[in-house]
Amino acid sequence: MKQKWRNERMKNRRKTERIILHHSLSGFGDVENIRRWHTMPPPAGHGWSDVGYHFVITRDGITQTGRDVRLVGAHAFGRNRDSIGVCLIGNFHKYEPTYEQVEAVTRLYHQLCRMYSKSLKLEFHRPHIFNLFEPNDYQIFNACTGSKMDRCDIREQCAKADPYGEVQT
């Protein structure tokens, strides 16, 4: 499906209902590292028009702007048209997000709810199912957001920061 996103003219997102959190699976990097990876031609990259995420949060809690927030992202197949993609730098299979990252997610959630004048759903990127070997031999990987990301804590922090009520799940 990568083919569909390659050098396609980016479209405006007509509605915004959710924020989807991801992790980078790396212990370093920033929005420019991810942008290079997403825009480099295959096989080294995806060959996309821009970074797929709207925001990237570094390990020290700095929120960096990626793709224009008004545009459809390229971060969650089948769910890009009504969502904002946020990638936290880190491998949350191995360690937890930093305190600063959780605080940054909370602040960003609050700002985006205000921007859209409503509560937004907060979601975590779902497991991927890949056919790696033989036909009908599927492997399930929770590539995003990792087992060490405390989803309950992040939802609770965002619910407290929601200016319009409780965070939607």
- pLDDT tens for 117-128 read 999 999 988 755
Distance CA 97, CA 88 (A): 8
Q: How large is the average pLDDT for residues 28-57?
A: 93
Task: State the average pLDDT over residues 74-82.
Answer: 90
Q: How do the domains of the chain map onto residue ranges?
A: 2-161
Q: Among 14-18, 92-96, 152-156, which range has the highest average pLDDT? A: 14-18
Answer yes or no: is pLDDT of 33 > 60: yes
Residue with tokens 């971060």: 75
Q: What is the mean pLDDT of residues 73-81?
A: 89
The domain made up of 2-161 has a fold known as Lysozyme-like (3.40.80)
Q: Does residue 166 register a pLDDT over 90? A: no
Q: How far apart are CA 79 and CA 10, in angstroms?
A: 15
Residues 6 or more apart whose Cβ sits within 8 Å of residue 24: 34, 56, 87, 88, 89, 90, 91
